[in-house]
Structure 1
């Protein structure tokens, strides 16, 4: 086994018996065969463990690690520590990957490239589309971070990218927190030499009722503040701190809308305080303030921002995008 060409596919597993076989089949039949598959059973109480054991018996590339439930972040960290491949790819155990995605991503992983990403879809049928991959982003660390913070083709998701091992060894997932992709996905960009993103759809992301973002609000959702604080600490002396703060300002504002956090919500004031905190850091950059209209609107009238101004802003953007797509013939 040549570890310099080996891809370690890491699959955290927790109570997904309904979808697990479909996920593992999509990995097992990859056109790139020089892989190891690290299954981290994070204390499943259904038949997930037995399904993993079956695949380990059938295919010696599959390896099972059983542990008490510690959460997705630590399951991924354990997978990284136990893997030996030069390259690492994450797959959530209820999702599916395109049959040739590992081969495609690896073909763009040149000597000076540390991450190669692809597109994802919530429509499984998109995985069978036969298209030649085109590079839609290629840049260094600062360019990748800027693209991510401005929603221009680079995402923070863990599971739509092929990583060079050393990058993930430098930036482990924050243990015990949800929204773990959010921190790691941005901070890893700080340590890369170059990143490439392809327009090919290689990953099917399944939206189901039990996923984190589909659950009702709980105190665990407050993890978003710990994640944001950790990001701010990581970049506090960086030139992009105002750009990052603008991004976090928008993220928290969207959180308020997503979970319908109204003035009578127990944590309403915490959300408002964090929005103000990030807005006040962001506005210190004249360039950020000039380029971000919604930030200027907030500063003019903070009281009505999350209840009136920001919803109208998002609605306007949604309508504008629809009209633009229709003009281009995409609708």
Structure 2
């Protein structure tokens, strides 16, 4: 009788962890499965451990090959699946699964008919289990028969091993993992989300992702490896190529590409920035070359929508200004959320580390969305039939350093209409605003305001109701 589920487990030099991984598979409450272990040329005792499992449990099979990398080992495992198995899953050989993982995923797919199901993930080490940060948002709630176009956070669900695929879906689209590269998950996981008719998302943790404490560090833990950076950028580029190839046939892919590009700029590239200040020359050169080229490919339209600090880091990257980029990263670490500003009518960021001999364009530095209004209403009281309002308000990055730089008006907008009423407001000292702002470069002592609203000015607006 053919198993319903085939689980592919690539194995390479994981003798410290492999027993625990395979035991968690053997302990699954869903029993109708096979495990295809692919020894990818291990040089430690991993193959012997896998062989012992295969000898003890007929559901476990061992395939051996020369070392070709994780993507190639996964593809080998897929080719070795039993011909009539219904579902496909992948497990990395240093990780584990809760006992009910596959029962939950397959019961869900049997009920919904979706193309694949994906579940939440915990990160674990000897101290215990915590929610995986990269899976927190997409798996915060269970969503059945959903799709990445309906729930965009699924764009960040890029791991291979927290899923069970319907085999017909996998074969219909001829999925295969890229070989001879790191970060091979996304070029399959992201297209799968777009190509699926529907996907099931489960908030229940179904996978335990190990953080290695001894032995060789995992790929995701070795952040300053230049090859890892190069391959991660290549992975992003492969997903972009998948979408670009479909724009002509389906105009929706133009919108999908915009969403993906924004995610690459706003979430993927910042992962490189985190380790850049402590990295070596080889990593920094790989960053400038490959990330800079990727940003140029994505283009200025996507960059313009970002906040000024983000735009500036991308500009410095593209123009290979590494010293200033590292200075900005260190500045932001010391002064989180703060932007030094020059100008009042047309304010722009004015960072002290920028080289005046090579000016950065105003389009990069001009502040707009960064000037968010911060405000608080402290008092609302009636005096002689008029409404007195007082509190404080200021633009986040400009502060309110003097009365002349803190002019204010209160605008009342008529509900359901564009018509407004302008109410003068007087500025006054309110040091509480400076305390609330946490500003390091500009105080907001003159953010205080008071305004008197005369109801007689409003009687001819809309439908007046006394009360």
Q: Do Structure 1 and Structure 2 share a fold, with TM-score over 0.5?
A: yes
1:44 counterpart = 2:45: no
Shift of residue 274 of structure 1? 3.1
1:49-68 maps to which residues of 2 (within 5 A)? 49-68=47-66
State which of 150, 154, 163 in structure 2 corresponds to 1:143.
150
Q: How far does the alpha carbon of each residue in 1:128-182 deviate from its partner, in whole angstroms, 9 at most, with x for none?
A: xxxxx962464135335x3333x5xxx1100111111133332210111100012
**Structure 1 residues 262 and 100, CA gap change in structure 2 (3 angstroms):** closer
**Structure 1 residues 306 and 120, CA gap change in structure 2 (3 angstroms):** farther
Q: TM-score, normalised by structure 2?
A: 0.58
Q: Could you tell me which residue of structure 2 aligns to residue 308 of structure 1?
A: 328
SS at match of 1:78: helix
Q: Could you tell me which residue of structure 2 aligns to residue 225 of structure 1?
A: 233
Assess if the C-alpha contact under 8 Å between 1:119 and 1:198 holds in 2.
yes
CA distance in 2, matches of 1:27, 1:88: 14
CA distance in 1, matches of 2:65, 2:271: 35
SS at match of 2:30: coil
Q: How far does the alpha carbon of each residue in 1:250-278 deviate from its partner, in whole angstroms, 9 at most, with x for none?
A: 31232232354779532242145235325
Q: Could you tell me which residue of structure 2 aligns to residue 83 of structure 1?
A: 81
- Number of equivalences: 300
1:269-288 maps to which residues of 2 (within 5 A)? 269-274=288-293, 276-277=295-296, 280=299, 282-283=301-302
SS at match of 1:202: strand
State which of 245, 257, 263 in structure 2 corresponds to 1:241.
257
SS at match of 2:29: coil
Shift of residue 68 of structure 1? 0.3
Is the strand fraction higher in 1 or 2? 2
| 216-225 vs 59-68, greater mean Cα deviation | 216-225
| 300-309 vs 6-15, greater mean Cα deviation | 300-309
**Structure 1 residues 309 and 17, CA gap change in structure 2 (3 angstroms):** closer
CA distance in 2, matches of 1:86, 1:226: 32
CA distance in 2, matches of 1:112, 1:281: 41
CA distance in 2, matches of 1:312, 1:167: 45
SS at match of 1:245: helix
**Structure 1 residues 134 and 221, CA gap change in structure 2 (3 angstroms):** closer
Q: Could you tell me which residue of structure 2 aligns to residue 160 of structure 1?
A: 162
Assess if the C-alpha contact under 8 Å between 2:229 and 2:286 holds in 1.
no
CA distance in 2, matches of 1:305, 1:175: 33
Is the helix fraction higher in 1 or 2? 1
Q: Could you tell me which residue of structure 1 aligns to residue 118 of structure 2?
A: 117
**Structure 1 residues 182 and 261, CA gap change in structure 2 (3 angstroms):** farther
State which of 197, 201, 206 in structure 1 corresponds to 2:205.
201
Q: TM-score, normalised by structure 1?
A: 0.80
SS at match of 1:266: helix
Q: Could you tell me which residue of structure 2 aligns to residue 326 of structure 1?
A: none
Q: Could you tell me which residue of structure 2 aligns to residue 328 of structure 1?
A: none
Shift of residue 283 of structure 1? 2.3
Assess if the C-alpha contact under 8 Å between 1:12 and 1:91 holds in 2.
yes
Bigger-Rg structure (1/2): 2
CA distance in 1, matches of 2:221, 2:313: 31
